[in-house]
Structure 1
Amino acid sequence: MRRNSARLYIALFLVAPMLAGCLERGQPTMVDTSSDDDAYCRAKNVAPGSNEYIACRKDRDVQHSNADARTDRRQRDLGEYMMNHPDHP
């Protein structure tokens, strides 16, 4: 009996991290895009700290925000479609 309970605890110990990953909700892990944005703006021959550089970085932020909003909207639309059409897999 003692040996079986030890195996149960070992199996639970090995499976727990995988189950914890399945329970994660909310925003995915944020990716640091600041270096990419910096490289993009510098490639346009814009000096860091200048008004053009600041505008370039703001434009990149808006582009990232719009991409995130499109992704969220597509996911929501897919969920609504699946709810309204349960007969289509």
Structure 2
Amino acid sequence: MRLPHSFSFLIVPFVALSLAGCAARNTGTVTAVGNDDDDSYCRANNTVAAGSPEYVACRRDRDVQRQRAEAKADRRQRDLGEYMMNHPDRP
């Protein structure tokens, strides 16, 4: 039995939208410090000038914090997936 040609026009967009949801998982960034802009955070109260060693260290620290938060979120997602694979009888 062959499906009508018009039926495939309904299935293709549904499948594409379903896969787009999976692909969008890592599009957002996780920030460890908040949603502040790094530049405005490091130049708060105009005490640090852009390009100074303190400013560079501040931006580096913010990058490290962001990378750690992203790694933690990825690790938790992976652990959840492994738990679900190892315990299929539990919701």
Q: For residues 26-72 of structure 1, what are the alpha-carbon distances to aligned partners after superposition, in whole Å with 9 as ceiling and x for unaligned?
A: 862255x8x70001101162110000000000000000000000001
1:12 aligns with 2:14: no
TM-score by length of structure 2 reads 0.68
When structure 1 is superposed on structure 2, of 20-29 and 37-46 the one drifting more is 20-29
TM-score by length of structure 1 reads 0.69
Q: Percent identity?
A: 57
Which letter maps to 1:20?
A: A
- 2:39 is aligned to 38
1:84 aligns with 2:70: no
When structure 1 is superposed on structure 2, of 41-50 and 58-67 the one drifting more is 41-50
State the aligned residue count: 79
- Post-superposition, which runs of at least 4 consecutive aligned residues in structure 1 deviate over 6 A? none
Identify the structure with bigger relative contact order (alpha carbons < 8 Å, sequence gap 6+).
Answer: 2
Structure 1: 5+ residue runs without aligned partners?
none
- 2:77 is aligned to 75
CA RMSD of aligned residues (A): 2.9
Query: Rg bigger for which structure?
Result: 1
State how far apart, in whole Å, the 1-side matches of 2:66 and 2:83 are.
26
